[in-house]
Amino acid sequence: MDPRQQELAARIAGRRGAVRGPFRVWLHSPEMCERAESLGAFARFDCSLPEHLRELTLLMAARNWDAQYSWNAHVHQAIEAGIPEAAVKAVAERREAVFDNEADQAFYQFCREVLEEHFVTDETFARALAHFGPKGLVDTIGALGNFTMLGMCLNTFQVDLQADKEPPFPDVRGYGRVVADSDGPRP
Protein backbone atom coordinates (compact mmCIF):
# COMPACT_ATOMS: atom_id res chain seq x y z
CA MET A 1 0.00 0.00 0.00
CA ASP A 2 1.11 3.52 -0.66
CA PRO A 3 1.25 6.05 2.22
CA ARG A 4 -2.31 7.31 1.58
CA GLN A 5 -3.71 3.77 1.64
CA GLN A 6 -1.75 3.01 4.82
CA GLU A 7 -3.14 6.13 6.48
CA LEU A 8 -6.72 5.17 5.58
CA ALA A 9 -6.21 1.56 6.64
CA ALA A 10 -4.94 2.70 10.04
CA ARG A 11 -7.94 5.02 10.48
CA ILE A 12 -10.39 2.29 9.47
CA ALA A 13 -8.75 -0.26 11.77
CA GLY A 14 -8.82 2.25 14.62
CA ARG A 15 -12.56 2.83 14.22
CA ARG A 16 -13.66 -0.66 13.20
CA GLY A 17 -11.05 -2.95 14.75
CA ALA A 18 -9.53 -4.15 11.45
CA VAL A 19 -9.63 -3.61 7.71
CA ARG A 20 -12.12 -6.22 6.55
CA GLY A 21 -14.66 -6.94 3.87
CA PRO A 22 -15.39 -4.05 1.53
CA PHE A 23 -12.62 -1.83 2.88
CA ARG A 24 -10.03 -4.18 1.46
CA VAL A 25 -11.59 -3.51 -1.95
CA TRP A 26 -12.24 0.21 -1.52
CA LEU A 27 -8.63 0.87 -0.51
CA HIS A 28 -7.71 0.45 -4.18
CA SER A 29 -9.30 3.90 -4.62
CA PRO A 30 -8.30 5.88 -1.52
CA GLU A 31 -10.61 8.80 -2.31
CA MET A 32 -13.60 6.49 -2.74
CA CYS A 33 -12.61 4.55 0.36
CA GLU A 34 -12.43 7.67 2.47
CA ARG A 35 -15.85 8.87 1.39
CA ALA A 36 -17.47 5.44 1.64
CA GLU A 37 -16.01 4.91 5.11
CA SER A 38 -17.29 8.30 6.23
CA LEU A 39 -20.83 7.65 4.96
CA GLY A 40 -20.74 4.13 6.37
CA ALA A 41 -19.64 5.38 9.78
CA PHE A 42 -22.46 7.93 9.76
CA ALA A 43 -25.03 5.30 8.76
CA ARG A 44 -23.81 2.77 11.32
CA PHE A 45 -22.94 4.94 14.29
CA ASP A 46 -24.13 8.54 14.03
CA CYS A 47 -27.39 8.91 12.11
CA SER A 48 -30.66 9.79 13.85
CA LEU A 49 -32.06 6.24 13.74
CA PRO A 50 -31.94 4.07 16.85
CA GLU A 51 -29.33 1.33 16.76
CA HIS A 52 -31.76 -1.53 16.16
CA LEU A 53 -33.19 0.20 13.08
CA ARG A 54 -29.73 1.00 11.74
CA GLU A 55 -28.97 -2.71 11.99
CA LEU A 56 -32.31 -3.63 10.40
CA THR A 57 -31.53 -1.29 7.51
CA LEU A 58 -28.20 -3.03 7.02
CA LEU A 59 -29.81 -6.49 7.05
CA MET A 60 -32.56 -5.48 4.63
CA ALA A 61 -30.09 -3.99 2.15
CA ALA A 62 -27.78 -6.99 2.57
CA ARG A 63 -30.64 -9.37 1.81
CA ASN A 64 -31.84 -7.27 -1.10
CA TRP A 65 -28.37 -7.62 -2.65
CA ASP A 66 -27.73 -11.15 -1.31
CA ALA A 67 -24.62 -9.79 0.43
CA GLN A 68 -23.82 -12.76 2.62
CA TYR A 69 -20.65 -11.31 4.15
CA SER A 70 -22.49 -8.19 5.32
CA TRP A 71 -25.42 -10.21 6.65
CA ASN A 72 -23.18 -12.56 8.63
CA ALA A 73 -21.16 -9.66 9.99
CA HIS A 74 -24.30 -8.00 11.41
CA VAL A 75 -27.04 -10.54 12.04
CA HIS A 76 -26.07 -11.08 15.69
CA GLN A 77 -25.62 -7.34 16.25
CA ALA A 78 -29.14 -6.76 14.93
CA ILE A 79 -30.62 -9.33 17.31
CA GLU A 80 -28.60 -7.97 20.24
CA ALA A 81 -29.81 -4.46 19.38
CA GLY A 82 -33.44 -5.61 19.61
CA ILE A 83 -34.57 -6.92 16.22
CA PRO A 84 -36.65 -10.05 16.94
CA GLU A 85 -35.11 -13.29 15.68
CA ALA A 86 -38.37 -14.16 13.90
CA ALA A 87 -38.16 -10.90 11.93
CA VAL A 88 -34.52 -11.56 11.05
CA LYS A 89 -35.43 -15.04 9.81
CA ALA A 90 -38.33 -13.64 7.77
CA VAL A 91 -36.03 -11.12 6.07
CA ALA A 92 -33.49 -13.88 5.32
CA GLU A 93 -36.25 -16.04 3.81
CA ARG A 94 -37.82 -13.13 1.90
CA ARG A 95 -41.03 -13.36 3.90
CA GLU A 96 -42.99 -10.49 5.45
CA ALA A 97 -41.49 -9.57 8.83
CA VAL A 98 -43.82 -8.65 11.67
CA PHE A 99 -42.90 -6.31 14.53
CA ASP A 100 -44.82 -5.70 17.77
CA ASN A 101 -43.75 -2.06 17.81
CA GLU A 102 -45.74 0.17 15.39
CA ALA A 103 -42.75 2.41 14.65
CA ASP A 104 -40.57 -0.60 13.81
CA GLN A 105 -43.30 -2.01 11.54
CA ALA A 106 -43.68 1.34 9.76
CA PHE A 107 -39.89 1.53 9.34
CA TYR A 108 -39.69 -2.00 7.96
CA GLN A 109 -42.51 -1.32 5.49
CA PHE A 110 -40.86 1.91 4.33
CA CYS A 111 -37.52 0.17 3.73
CA ARG A 112 -39.16 -2.83 2.09
CA GLU A 113 -41.03 -0.64 -0.39
CA VAL A 114 -37.93 1.39 -1.22
CA LEU A 115 -35.84 -1.72 -1.84
CA GLU A 116 -38.41 -3.90 -3.57
CA GLU A 117 -40.74 -1.44 -5.29
CA HIS A 118 -38.29 1.47 -5.75
CA PHE A 119 -41.10 3.78 -4.67
CA VAL A 120 -43.04 4.30 -1.44
CA THR A 121 -46.81 4.63 -1.25
CA ASP A 122 -48.23 7.83 0.19
CA GLU A 123 -49.66 5.85 3.11
CA THR A 124 -46.32 4.20 3.94
CA PHE A 125 -44.49 7.51 3.61
CA ALA A 126 -46.94 9.30 5.93
CA ARG A 127 -46.78 6.49 8.49
CA ALA A 128 -42.97 6.48 8.55
CA LEU A 129 -42.80 10.28 8.54
CA ALA A 130 -45.07 10.42 11.61
CA HIS A 131 -42.62 8.21 13.52
CA PHE A 132 -39.24 9.43 12.25
CA GLY A 133 -39.72 12.90 10.80
CA PRO A 134 -37.99 14.23 7.69
CA LYS A 135 -34.50 13.84 9.16
CA GLY A 136 -35.13 10.22 10.05
CA LEU A 137 -36.38 9.40 6.57
CA VAL A 138 -33.43 11.16 4.91
CA ASP A 139 -31.07 9.24 7.22
CA THR A 140 -32.90 6.02 6.31
CA ILE A 141 -32.40 6.61 2.60
CA GLY A 142 -28.74 7.47 3.22
CA ALA A 143 -28.27 4.26 5.20
CA LEU A 144 -30.07 2.14 2.59
CA GLY A 145 -27.94 3.71 -0.14
CA ASN A 146 -24.74 3.11 1.78
CA PHE A 147 -25.60 -0.49 2.60
CA THR A 148 -26.70 -1.07 -1.00
CA MET A 149 -23.32 0.15 -2.23
CA LEU A 150 -21.73 -2.17 0.32
CA GLY A 151 -23.66 -5.18 -0.98
CA MET A 152 -22.81 -4.34 -4.57
CA CYS A 153 -19.12 -4.12 -3.69
CA LEU A 154 -19.08 -7.38 -1.75
CA ASN A 155 -20.77 -9.31 -4.55
CA THR A 156 -18.93 -7.72 -7.46
CA PHE A 157 -15.51 -8.32 -5.93
CA GLN A 158 -16.62 -11.66 -4.47
CA VAL A 159 -15.62 -10.91 -0.90
CA ASP A 160 -15.86 -14.35 0.61
CA LEU A 161 -18.05 -15.35 3.49
CA GLN A 162 -16.29 -15.41 6.79
CA ALA A 163 -14.60 -18.81 7.08
CA ASP A 164 -16.52 -19.80 10.21
CA LYS A 165 -19.97 -18.75 8.91
CA GLU A 166 -22.69 -20.65 7.12
CA PRO A 167 -24.33 -19.15 4.03
CA PRO A 168 -27.33 -17.26 5.46
CA PHE A 169 -29.82 -17.39 2.59
CA PRO A 170 -31.64 -20.50 1.41
CA ASP A 171 -31.60 -19.39 -2.23
CA VAL A 172 -27.97 -18.23 -2.59
CA ARG A 173 -24.79 -20.29 -2.71
CA GLY A 174 -21.43 -18.84 -3.59
CA TYR A 175 -22.18 -15.84 -5.77
CA GLY A 176 -25.32 -17.06 -7.44
CA ARG A 177 -28.92 -17.90 -6.92
CA VAL A 178 -29.91 -21.54 -6.68
CA VAL A 179 -33.11 -22.92 -8.09
CA ALA A 180 -35.42 -24.73 -5.71
CA ASP A 181 -36.78 -28.04 -6.88
CA SER A 182 -39.12 -30.49 -5.21
CA ASP A 183 -36.32 -31.56 -2.85
CA GLY A 184 -35.39 -28.01 -1.88
CA PRO A 185 -32.52 -25.78 -2.99
CA ARG A 186 -29.62 -27.32 -4.86
CA PRO A 187 -26.22 -27.08 -3.21
| Helix, strand, coil share of the chain (percent; to 5) | 65, 5, 30
Which comes out higher in pLDDT, residue 133 or 12? 133
Q: How far is CA 75 from the centre of its chain?
A: 10
Inside any domain, residue 14: yes
Helix, strand, or coil here: 94?
A: coil
Clarify whether residues 127 and 35 are in a common domain: no
Inside any domain, residue 57: yes
Long-range contacts of 173-180 (CB under 8 A, 24+ apart): 177/66
Q: Residue 135 pLDDT more than 70? A: yes
Clarify whether residues 7 and 34 are in a common domain: yes
Clarify whether residues 93 and 149 are in a common domain: yes
Question: pTM for the full model?
Answer: 0.89
Clarify whether residues 155 and 77 are in a common domain: yes
- Give how many domains the chain has, as a whole number: 2
pLDDT digits (tens, 9 = 90+) for 90-103: 999 999 999 999 99
Clarify whether residues 158 and 97 are in a common domain: yes
Inside any domain, residue 175: no
Clarify whether residues 57 and 35 are in a common domain: no
The amino acid present at 178, given as its one-letter code, is V
Percentage of the chain beyond pLDDT 90 is 76
Clarify whether residues 106 and 28 are in a common domain: no
| Residues whose CB is less than 8 angstroms from the CB of residue 32 and which lie 6 or more positions away in sequence, other chains included | 26
What's the longest Cα–Cα distance across the chain? Answer: 55
pLDDT digits (tens, 9 = 90+) for 47-98: 999 999 999 999 999 999 999 999 999 999 999 999 999 999 999 999 999 9
Inside any domain, residue 177: no
The amino acid present at 159, given as its one-letter code, is V
pLDDT digits (tens, 9 = 90+) for 167-177: 888 888 777 77
Domain encompassing residue 34:
1-46
The confidence band for 182, taking pLDDT boundaries of 50, 70 and 90, is: very low
Inside any domain, residue 127: yes
Clarify whether residues 138 and 113 are in a common domain: yes
Clarify whether residues 130 and 68 are in a common domain: yes
Q: What CATH code is carried by the domain that includes residue 69?
A: 1.20.1290.10
